[in-house]
Amino acid sequence: MLEKIVVLFAKSGRGKSSLINAAIVPLLHDTENPKYHYTPVEIRLSEVKGDSSSPIEKIISKLKEVAPVPDHPHPVLDRFSYPYLLWHLFKKYSLHSRENSC
């Protein structure tokens, strides 16, 4: 199964947020087409005073906040939790969605 992800990256002030908020997010919330289910996740990687989290930690924290995944142990996957923390989380989401779609 092919997993798709889109990353929009550009310098500050180039209109990324405007494009996303005006054109893309409304399409993702289209309830008339239940075939496609997307959950937009806004993650800001800029430094915030008092927050020493790494970019990866911020991504993982936000994903767990928006879409919690049960911590089911996996005999092979759980052997590779570091340094592939983000990969590990995406695989858990993938396995969880496959289990729930059957």
Q: What is the pLDDT of residues 24-62, one digit of tens each?
A: 777 777 777 666 667 778 787 777 788 888 888 888 888
Q: Which percentage of the chain shows pLDDT scores above 90?
A: 2
20 within 8 A of 8, measured Cβ to Cβ: yes
Does the pLDDT value for residue 70 go beyond 70? no
Number of domains in the chain: 1
Find the mean pLDDT for residues 61-67: 84
**Structural domain for 81, as ranges:** 16-101
Say if 68 falls within a structural domain: yes
62 within 8 A of 43, measured Cβ to Cβ: yes
Number of other CB atoms surrounding residue 53 within 10 Å: 13
Omega of the bond leading into 34 within 30 degrees of 0 (cis) = no
- pLDDT-based confidence at 79, cuts 50/70/90? confident
Say if 2 falls within a structural domain: no
CA 72, CA 56: separation in Å to the nearest integer? 22
Find the mean pLDDT for residues 6-19: 87
CA 10, CA 77: separation in Å to the nearest integer? 33
